[in-house]
């Protein structure tokens, strides 16, 4: 019973690594659109993750912020790269 508060604190602190339902590590680094513009080969894999999350029944508020941030950054970088072609 004494371990319960410690366990709860560790869970809330995000200690350890976990794997999201799409199999990606939840420790995914946040990327900017400039990163994706410089690494266009990483846009499609990120958009695959985005499609997985968009197709799930997970409420937007429950999605990891890093996934939402990266999805927006990848989409914007893709649009910028298409404009320069």
SS3 of the chain:
CCHHHHHHHHHHHCCCCCECCCCCECCCCCCCHHHHHHCHHHHHHHHHHHHHHHHCCCCHHHCCHHHHHHHHHHHHHHHHHHHCC
Cα–Cα dist 27/47, whole Å: 17
User: Whole-model pTM above 0.75?
Assistant: no
pLDDT surpasses 70 at 9? no
pLDDT in tens, 25-78: 557 899 999 999 999 999 999 999 999 988 888 887 888 889 999 999 999 999
């Amino acid at each position: 019973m004494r371990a319960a508060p410690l366990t709860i604190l560790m869970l809330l602190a995000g200690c350890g690594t976990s794997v999201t339902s799409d199999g990606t590590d939840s420790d995914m680094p946040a990327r900017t659109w400039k990163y994706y513009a410089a690494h266009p080969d990483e846009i499609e894999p990120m958009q695959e993750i985005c499609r997985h999350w968009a197709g799930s029944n997970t409420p937007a508020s429950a999605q990891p912020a890093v996934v939402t941030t990266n999805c927006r950054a990848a989409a914007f970088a893709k649009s910028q790269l298409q404009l320069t072609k």
